[in-house]
Amino acid sequence: MAEPHRWHPLLAAQEGPTGTWTLADAFDRVYGTIEIRRMSADDVRYRVSFRGEVIGWSNTLRLACERVHGEFLRNHGPNGGPIASWGPTEQTW
């Protein structure tokens, strides 16, 4: 049986201008930017930004897209335990 097709953040990356990729949400709001940087003739790095803030560097475009998208997902969930109070544990009828 063939491996099922999987979606990857690289598929959502749109290039333009040359050497710059953006990732956008379902409402076409850009949440991440990746820019290619040539450090030397044989050393290429990708500058990874999330909502205008640099969050790191990658040595492949694939990893850069994963980092931006991972940060996007982390910003949509709770950072720690629940903040809601569920009240007393015993019933007080």
Q: What does the pLDDT look like over 6-18, one tens digit per residue?
A: 667 777 889 999 9
Sheet holding 30-40, edge to edge: 14-15, 20-24, 30-40, 43-50, 53-58
Binned at pLDDT 50, 70 and 90, residue 87 comes out as low
Q: State what percent of residues in the chain have pLDDT above 90.
A: 52
In a domain, 15, yes or no: yes
In a domain, 1, yes or no: no
Q: Average per-residue pLDDT in the chain? A: 83
In a domain, 84, yes or no: no
Domain that holds residue 28: 9-74
In a domain, 82, yes or no: no
| Domain count across the chain | 1
Binned at pLDDT 50, 70 and 90, residue 1 comes out as very low
In a domain, 21, yes or no: yes
